[in-house]
Amino acid sequence: MSIFVQLAWMLLLAAFCCGPALADDHPKTPPDAIDARPTELPADLTTKLAAGSNVEKQILPQISLLTPSQNDRDQKRFVLSQEPFGLQAFENAPSALSAKWADLQSRLLSEEATLAACRSGDRNCPAAAHRLLYIIDLAQQRQGFARLGEINRAVNLSIKPVSDWAQYGVEDFWSTPIGTLSAGAGDCEDYAILKYFALREAGILRDDLRLLIVRDIKRKTDHAVVAVHLGEQWLLLDNRMLVMVNASQARNYYPLFVLDHRGVRGVATAVFAR
């Protein structure tokens, strides 16, 4: 891997943050946006979520596909992958990001065990775990778009957006789902991690799930969203909106990294488009 590529990746990792949503960026909902019906939560939980919610109902920026040069393809530096938007990705990703994702996976295994204990009637089950199980169980009662929309909306209403600096005093911290729900706050990757985990627990196949780190061209910040493969399309689940958007219509984001059960892959276009 060239020194240029390594430096570019280091810059991307150092700059990763979740910029604030701008309510007036996109005043009109795109015709292909898929509305997620409101989650019918218990009265006490609904009141609590609504009181702490600061979800922006603006339209998701769109992902721009930047085609790698023919010279790069000739050098065989890219591999075609079955990713959202037909992306081409590097086989290798920065070791720091891969290690961070691997560490999170081990912590998610611990939370899977916690949920299993809660389902079996453990009296020491944390309140946040009960809340997560409620979201998952409600989603399992629905199918297709409705299942995805249930989780997207419930998670968005369960958390208020707060930066890692304000919450933890560090530049970047990836919280677990139960930890995020317990705090009732998080930044974009915390929303995305919670949705990724809840979707998986609700029965969505791992091969149909991606956590994407993308570049917001308009806001000039990096952001995290979840992509779910359903039928012939990929849908984006974002904490900045309560509707799901067909990824094929996206334009103002471009992807930097793809994270899933197989690991982390750096998107080739990101290095050359920065």
Residue 145 sits in a domain of what CATH number?
3.10.620.30
CB 95 within 8 A of CB 6: no
Decide if 19 is inside a domain: no
- Is residue 144 pLDDT above 50, yes or no? yes
pLDDT band of 21, cuts 50, 70, 90: very low
CA dihedral 150, 151, 153, 155 (to 10 degrees): 150
For 14, the token pair is: 């150092």
Q: How far apart are CA 254 and CA 21, in angstroms?
A: 17
pLDDT band of 159, cuts 50, 70, 90: very high
Decide if 208 is inside a domain: yes
247 against 106, higher pLDDT: 106
Give the pLDDT confidence of 65-76 residue by residue, as tens digits. Answer: 333 334 444 333
Decide if 105 is inside a domain: yes
- Is residue 96 pLDDT above 50, yes or no? yes
- Is residue 40 pLDDT above 90, yes or no? no
Read off the pTM. 0.73
Decide if 6 is inside a domain: no
Q: How far apart are CA 19 and CA 223, in angstroms?
A: 7
CB 63 within 8 A of CB 252: yes
Decide if 192 is inside a domain: yes
Q: Kindly give, in sequence order, each residue whose CB lies less than 8 Å from that of residue 45, ignoring residues fewer than 6 positions away.
A: 131, 134
Distance set, CA 18 to CA 56, 59, 220 (Å): 13, 16, 10
CB 183 within 8 A of CB 175: yes
Q: Residue 255: its pLDDT value, please?
A: 86
Q: How far apart are CA 247 and CA 210, in angstroms?
A: 12
Decide if 124 is inside a domain: yes
For 221, the token pair is: 């910040």
Neighbour order of strands in the sheet with 243-246 = 34-35, 243-246, 233-237, 221-230, 209-216, 253-260, 263-266
CB 265 within 8 A of CB 257: yes
Task: Give the DSSP letter of residue 271.
Answer: H
CB 203 within 8 A of CB 71: no
Q: Residue 149: its pLDDT value, please?
A: 95
Mean pLDDT of 221-238: 92
Decide if 247 is inside a domain: yes
Task: Provide the number of structural domains found in the chain.
Answer: 1
Domain extent for 265: 38-273
Decide if 1 is inside a domain: no
Q: Residue 245: its pLDDT value, please?
A: 85
Angle, alpha carbons 251-10-69 (nearest 5°): 50
- Is residue 11 pLDDT above 80, yes or no? no
Best CA proximity match to 128, nearest among 200, 53, 194: 194
